[in-house]
Structure 1
Amino acid sequence: MTADTGRKYRAYPTRGQDQVLTGWGHTVRALWNVALEQRVYLWEQRRYTLRSAEQCKQLTAARKELDWIGELPAQTGQQILRTLDRAYDNFWNPGHPAGYPARKKRGNRLSIPFPGQWVEVRKLNREWAEVRLPKLGWLRFRLSRALGGTIRNATVSRDGNGWHISFGVHAERKPDAPNGKPACGVDFGVAASAFVSTETTPRLMRPTLTAHEKRRLKALEQRKARQVTYAKKYNGGKYGTRLRKTIAAIGRLRTRQANRRHDFTHKLTTDLAKNHGLIGIEDLRVKNMTKCAKGTAEKPGKNVRQKAGLNRSILDNTPGERRRQLEYKARMYGSVLVSVPPFHTSQTCAACGQVDPESRKGCGRLFACTRCGHEDDADHNASVEIEARARRTGGSDINSTRSIPRVRVPATGRRRMREASKPAHAS
């Protein structure tokens, strides 16, 4: 019985519990780094693969000799080693996108995992509940929604806004049957966060930071740079109280920005999965799209600052996270997600299928086909083209009010499509 859904709540530890959890969080980070370093050393020196079963025995001995490890619950330490096993398994799996397990820096989010069998939850009233954790006692949290299943694991974490507790829950929810609703294509962009082919206006994400918050964030970043320079020059690199307060203030703003971004993303993906039977999106390579244009000393890049601003705008819209959420929400609500090649979706006429860069001069908002004269918003035209490709790829049996274009340019390569001769305008 594994966890098939998650629940996250705001936790409110006492001052003593806050200090204990902070210490445990740093111990978890150090234990992860030591265990990873041990595995790397044994593989490089002896070609020996170390796993959690053997490291757990060594952890038991270390708990008796090292007080900072002994203060951490034994179940948490074992859970960390098992998580490291899973990280290696994902890295070795060619079908998994995970990279090599990375070391955790001090600035990483504090996180303490617990197995589900050592966790007990009791409800206090309609709004509050408590969870009993090993060696910590009862931790109070805000019961914003019901658990809805059997707890399989729990994780206590801290971000810029405070402490949270997350539960992995086995809710026994099975994928819904096909909902039979209309198909759609979605074009994710920067100017228009999302344009759905069945709608006439784009869905825009409000700025994740207000103008005042942007000015405050810039001032805090500048203050942090000055304080770090002072600490390195006069304090031996040790962070003082003022510098830590500055870092905490930056973390609160960044967390607020991330929460607003996640709120829009969840609302968008849930609405798409519930109200459509087929969802077509572009198979984007976000890492390639957001590569740095700095270049090298011999061959410096061009328009580096402009490219950096574009990269921030792309990442602020989180196209990868939207796709990840659509993948599991589509199964949950009985819809189908189809990713299509992104080549020339913004240059293809959704009415006649003509591919011509001149149809969208200067990458503006207007699309005007040089063949049939079809005019539309460029992002909406791209979303209609994405829907047509998705229907041909994996959802031709989905009912839709839009017909597939009759004339298509064969996708025989990007260069050939660009060099294709342009037919004369119809008289």
Structure 2
Amino acid sequence: MKADAGRKYRAYPTGDQGQVLTGWGHTARALWNVALEQRVYLWEQRRYSLRSGEQCKQLTAARTELDWIGDLPAQTGQQILRSLDHAYDNFWNPEHPARFPARKKRGHRLSIPFPGQAVEVRKLNRHWAEVRLPKLGWLRFRLSRAIGGTIRNATLSRDGNGWHISFGVHTGRKPDAPNGYATCGVDFGVAASAFVSTETTPRLMPPSLTTKEKKRLKALEQRKARQITYAKKHGGGKYGRRLRTTIAQIASLTTRRGNRRRDFTHKLTTDLAKSHGLIGIEDLRVKNMTKSAKGTTKVPGKNVRAKAGLNRSILDNTPGERRRQLEYKARMYGSVLVAVPPFHTSQTCAACGQVDPESRKGCGRLFACTRCGHEDDADHNASVEIEARTRRTGGSEINSTRSIPRVRVPATSRRRMREAPKPAHAS
């Protein structure tokens, strides 16, 4: 019986509990790094794959010899080693996009996992509940929604706004039957956060930070840079109280920005999955899209700052997270998600299928086809083209009047094709 849903709540530990959890978080991070280093060393030296079964036995012996490991609950240590197994399994799986397990830095988010058998939850009233954790006791959290299932695991984590507790819950819910709703194409962009082909206006994400918050964040980052420079010159690199306060204030603002971005993403993806039967999006490679422009102090690159600003705008709209949420929400609400090739979607006329970069001069907001004269908002035109490709890829009915896109090949490419050597079997 595995967890099929997640529940996250704001936790309110006492002062003593907060200190204990902070120590456990750093111990859990160190245990992950030590276990990973041990596996890497054994593989490089002996070509031996170490798994959590053997490491759990070694962990039991280490708990009696090392106090900093012995202070951590045994269930948490075992859960960390099992998570490392999952990380390796995902890395070895060719169908999974995970990379090799990475070491966790000190600035990494603190996380303390527990198995479901080690925790107990009791409800206090309509708005509050408590969870009993090993070696810590009862911890209060805000019951913002019902748990609604059997708890399979629990994780305590800390961000810029404080501590949170997440539960992996088994609800037993099965995916809905196909809803039979209409098909749509969605174009995720920067100027328009999302433009749906069946709508006439784009969906815009509210600013993740207000103007005052942006100015304050910039001032705090400048202050942090000055304080780090001072610490390196006069304090041997040791962070002082004021520097830690500045870092905490920056973390609070960035967490607020992430929460607002996540709230818009969840609302957008839920509405799309509930109101459409077939959803088409572009199969984007966000990593390639956000590669930084190269430039150094001695040899400055071209448009480095402009590219950095574009990268921030792309990442602020989180196209990868939107796709991830649509994948599981589409199964949940009876719809189908199709990722179509993004080749020339912004330069293809949705009316006649002509591909011409001149139809969208300067990457502006207006799309004017050079062949048929069709005019539309560039993002809406792209969403209609995505919908047309989705119908063909998704197996739905194809509009027979829709012609195959004609690609205008540049002169340089035509010359290269003429000069290319012919195959040996060609006459």
- TM-score, length-scaled by structure 2: 0.94
> Relative to 1, partners in 2 of residues 1:166 and 1:226: Cα closer, same or farther, differing over 3 Å?
same
Q: Secondary structure at the match of 1:76?
A: helix
1:204 correspondence with 2:204: yes
| Matching residue of 1:409 | 405
Secondary structure class of the residue paired with 2:360: helix
Contact 2:269 2:326 in 1 (8 A): yes
Instruction: List runs of 5+ in structure 2 lacking aligned partners.
Output: 416-427
Residues 43-69 of structure 1: CA deviation (Å, up to 9, x unaligned)? 111111111111111100110011110
The 3 A distance-change label for structure 1 pair 73 and 255 is same
The answer on whether the counterparts of 2:353 and 2:406 sit within 8 Å (CA) in structure 1 is no
Cα distance in 1, alignment partners of residues 100 and 143 from structure 2: 37
Does the aligned pair in 1 maintain the 2:354–2:406 contact within 8 Å? no
Amino acid at match of 1:409: P
User: Partners in 2 of 1:95 and 1:299 — Cα distance?
Assistant: 40
Equivalent pair of 2:90/2:96 in contact (CA under 8 Å): yes
Once residues 128 and 44 of structure 1 are traced to their aligned partners in structure 2, the CA distance between those partners, rounded to angstroms, is 50
Residue 97 (str. 1) matches residue 97 (str. 2): yes
Match of 1:65 in 2: 65
SS of the residue 1:11 aligns to: strand
Q: Match of 2:74, as an amino acid? A: A
Alpha-carbon distance, 1:188 to partner: 0.2
Partner of 2:28: 28
Residue in structure 2 matched with residue 350 of structure 1 by the alignment:
350
Distance in 2 (CA, whole Å) between partners of 1:99 and 1:166 is: 24
Supply the RMSD in Å over aligned alpha carbons.
Answer: 1.8
Q: Please give the alpha-carbon distance, in whole angstroms, between the structure 1 residues aligned to 2:114 and 2:387.
A: 44
User: 1:188-337 alignment to 2 at 5 Å?
Assistant: 188-294=188-294, 301-337=301-337
In structure 1, the residue matched to 2:164 is 164
Tell me, yes or no, if the aligned pair for 1:11 and 1:163 is still in contact at 8 Å: yes
Cα distance change, pair 336–418 in 1 and its aligned pair in 2 (3 A) = farther
Q: Name the structure 1 match of 2:392.
A: 392
Give deviations 1:204-223, integer Å, cap 9, x for gaps. 00111111001100110011
Relative distance call for 1:127 and 1:419 in structure 2 (3 A) is: farther
CA distance in 2, matches of 1:415, 1:321: 35
The whole-number CA distance in structure 1 between the counterparts of 2:129 and 2:402 is 60
Return closer, same or farther for 1:296/1:242 CA change in 2, 3 Å cut-off. closer
Structure 1: 5+ residue stretches without partners: 421-427
- Runs of 4+ residues deviating >3 angstroms: 295-301, 413-420
Deviation, structure 1 residue 234: 1.2
CA distance in 1, matches of 2:62, 2:414: 67
Cα distance between partner residues in 1 of 2:395 and 2:312: 34
Q: Is the 8 A contact 1:186 1:280 kept in 2?
A: yes
Answering whether residue 16 of structure 2 is matched by residue 16 of structure 1, we say yes
Equivalent residue, structure 2, for 1:154: 154
Tell me by how many angstroms 1:109 deviates.
0.5
Alpha-carbon distance between aligned partners in 2 of 1:282 and 1:393, rounded to the nearest angstrom? 12
Alignment identity in percent? Answer: 84
Counterpart contact for 1:280–1:386, Cα < 8 Å = yes
Q: Once the 2 structures are TM-superposed, how far is the Cα of residue 41 of structure 1 from its aligned partner?
A: 1.0
CA contact 1:355–1:417 (8 Å) conserved in 2: no
Counterpart Cα distance in 2 of 1:414 and 1:339: 25
1:191-211 deviation digits (Å, cap 9, x = unpaired): 000000000000000111111
Which deviates more, 315-324 or 34-43? 34-43
Aligned residue identity for 2:79: Q
Q: Report the TM-score when normalising by structure 1.
A: 0.94
1:353–1:405 contact (8 Å) kept in structure 2: no
Offset, 1:298: 9.8
**Equivalence for 2:125:** 125
* Aligned amino acid, residue 152 of structure 1: R
Residues in 2 aligned to 1:395 and 1:251: alpha-carbon distance in whole angstroms: 46
**Aligned residue number for residue 3 of structure 1:** 3
1:418 CA displacement: 8.2
- Partner-residue secondary structure (3-state), 1:39: helix
In structure 2, the residue corresponding to 1:185 is in which secondary structure? strand
User: What's the offset of the Cα at 1:406?
Assistant: 2.3
CA distance in 1, matches of 2:24, 2:282: 42
Are the equivalent residues in 2 in contact too, given 1:356–1:418 (CA < 8 A)?
no
CA distance change for structure 1 residues 410 and 360 in 2, over 3 Å: closer, same or farther? closer
SS at match of 2:355: coil
CA contact (8 A) 2:195 2:202 kept: yes
